[in-house]
Homo-oligomer: A and B are copies of this chain.
């Protein structure tokens, strides 16, 4: 279809298309852009389209942007592109949604730098490059002071709410995710459900612990000796589970999948077979852990892809003046964290009561 393009010395411009179709540039522009409130005779339009197709016409974005002030590009500033295992899915969600809407996604990493000046520089880069809007993604933050210049264009936050409650934001509903785990365990007959908590003080920690506590209380179950804290990694999970095992839980719900890896290890050392003697549940669905464990791990998925997509579509709405931003900004949008059942949960061996 586009064959031969490579040979073209100069790529065809709107002028060439106009000449070829025997109409004015104005008409070409109207036809190709389907300008609203403009009627062009169908046969004229057809001629224009044929000419454009034949010449392989591709509008020059610079020229268009110079007139319209729109780049159709949105910028994504994200912490820890590589550090966090999930940033990839945020990027993917944002990119695919952008493509669906005819937008391009540019990305820049903010080095986890606590210095707001730096973040502000990253944002500035996008402003300079005429990004139509900006997505600012952080992880493990509850509330942030958004870089000042972020307000120069429509913007959206992923993973944190802005301190002035003025920028639309989206984050995972960690608490509801944790509640669903406990409820599933209860439905399977578990009563002594322990929680291996993270000792880090981040929103995810608080949300998951809260969800566990609420669900247990709602079921009228005691918690007292069933919560232990550890670092948010395999070693922390190992240590916490070892502690928990002294209080004879029938299930251990871990703050994250890495801690669950440690829980498997601890169970193994105590001669416990999962899930026969002990059920284990993780959180994050952090590849490749859940599928690599023996047995595979039941865990909770984080809506990274969805947050990326949400950010782009919300931004697109803002750009098109569908300004429900105030509405949106009042409370951050919470996206569900679906439970993903695999093999690590079974009914308790001895029926609890």
**Which A residues lie at the B interface, using CB under 8 A?**
2-3, 5-6, 58-63, 65-66, 71, 73, 81-82, 85, 87-89, 91-92, 95-96, 99, 104-109, 120, 124-125, 127-130, 148-149, 151-152, 233-234, 238, 258, 261-262, 265, 268, 286-289, 291-294, 305
Contacts and interface: CB of A to CB of B under 8 A. Distances in A.
Copies of this chain present in the complex amount to 2
Give the secondary structure class of A's interface.
Answer: helix
Contact of A128 (B61, B63, B265, B294): B61
A130 B62 contact: yes
Contact of A88 (B6, B88, B120): B88
A351 B225 CA distance: 48
Nearest to A68: B62
B107 A108 contact: no
Given A85-B287, A87-B88, 8 more contacts: A2-B149, A6-B151, A61-B62, A81-B91, A91-B107, A104-B106, A105-B107, A289-B289
Contacts of A62: 61-63, 65-66, 71, 130
A334 to B, nearest CB: 22
Given A60-B130, A129-B61, A151-B6, A106 B109 contact: no
A149 B5 contact: yes
A62 B62 CA distance: 5
